[in-house]
Amino acid sequence: MSKTRNVAIYIFDDVELLDFCGPFEVFSVADRIGDDNPFNVFSVAQGSNTIITKNGLSINAKYSIENCPKPDILLIPGGQGARKEMYNEVLLRWIKDCSKDIEFILSVCTGAFILARCGLLKDKKATTHHLGYEKLEELEPTVEVLRNKRFVDNGDIILSGGISAGIDMSLYVVNKLLGDEAVKRTVEHMEYYSDKYS
C-alpha cells in the first residue's frame, strides 16, 4: 500500500481564490480516483477565524497551524494578502519549521514572496505572477526569476506563475508522484485541457 501524503494548503485574508482552489481540486480529484488514497488534502490558516478571499468569498480552514497534521506537501498561494502575510513572523516561522522535514513546498503566484521572506529561495530558480517579477527579485536578490514560465521545479521547492498556473503545477506534482496514468485520469475527470495536459 502506498503512502497517503498530507497536502496542506495555507489560506489567509485576501488570498486569490483560484490560487488555492485549483490545486485543492487537482489533489482532491487525484485522491478520489486514485488507488490507496494518495492524498489527504486540507486547508490550514493561522487561527480559527473566517477567511475572506480577495473576491469576498467567506471560508473556514479545516485546521489551524497549531493543530494541523504534519504536511508532506505544503502549498502557499498568493493574492493581495500575500503582501501582508510575507511579514507575518508567526507564519514565516511555521513554514521554516515545516521545510526542515517535508517532501515538497509549492507556491502559486505571489505566494513566492512568502517563500522568499522565509529565505527558502536563496540561489533558486523561481517564477510568480508576471506583475511580481521585480518584487520577487527585490525580496531575494540571489533568485533567478524565470519569466513567462508556468512553473519552475527546484526539486523540493516548486513555484508557479499566476492564478491558473497553480493547476498545471499541481498536475505536474501528481505526475511526478503517481505517474502518467494518474495525471491522465485526473485531467479527464476535471475536463481540464491545456497544451501540456490535453
pLDDT tens by residue, 100-113: 999 999 999 999 99
DSSP per position, 108-141 = ETTHHHHHHHTTTTTT-EE---GGGHHHHHHH-T
Tell which residue, 42, 154, 156, 59, has the closest CA to residue 98: 156
Could you tell me which residues are beta bridge partners of residue 75? 9, 106
Average pLDDT over residues 20-30: 97
137 residue type, one letter: E
Please indicate, yes or no, if residue 197 is contained in any of the structural domains. Answer: no
Please indicate, yes or no, if residue 198 is contained in any of the structural domains. Answer: no
pLDDT band at 6 (very low <50, low <70, confident <90, very high): very high
User: Does the pLDDT at position 197 exceed 70?
Assistant: no
Residue 184: CB atoms within 10 Å: 14
User: Does the pLDDT at position 195 exceed 70?
Assistant: no
pLDDT tens sequence across 28-81:
999 999 778 999 999 999 987 899 999 899 999 999 999 999 999 999 999 999
Please indicate, yes or no, if residue 195 is contained in any of the structural domains. Answer: no
* Grid cell listed for 4: 497517503
Predicted local confidence at residue 150, as pLDDT: 94
Please indicate, yes or no, if residue 18 is contained in any of the structural domains. Answer: yes
Full residue range of the structural domain in which residue 106 is found: 5-190
* Grid cell listed for 40: 489527504
CA 140 to CA 125: how far, in whole Å? 11
Residue 4, burial from CB neighbour count under 10 angstroms (0-12, 13-18, 19+): middle
pLDDT tens sequence across 141-181:
999 999 999 999 999 999 999 989 999 999 999 999 999 99
CATH number at residue 56: 3.40.50.880
List Cβ neighbours of 180 (8 Å cut-off, separation of 6 or more). Answer: none
Predicted local confidence at residue 36, as pLDDT: 86
* Grid cell listed for 72: 508532506
CA 72 to CA 51: how far, in whole Å? 23
- Give the position of cell 515545516: 98
Please indicate, yes or no, if residue 77 is contained in any of the structural domains. Answer: yes
CA distances from 13 to 3, 55, 198 (A): 32, 10, 34
Report the domain count for the chain: 1
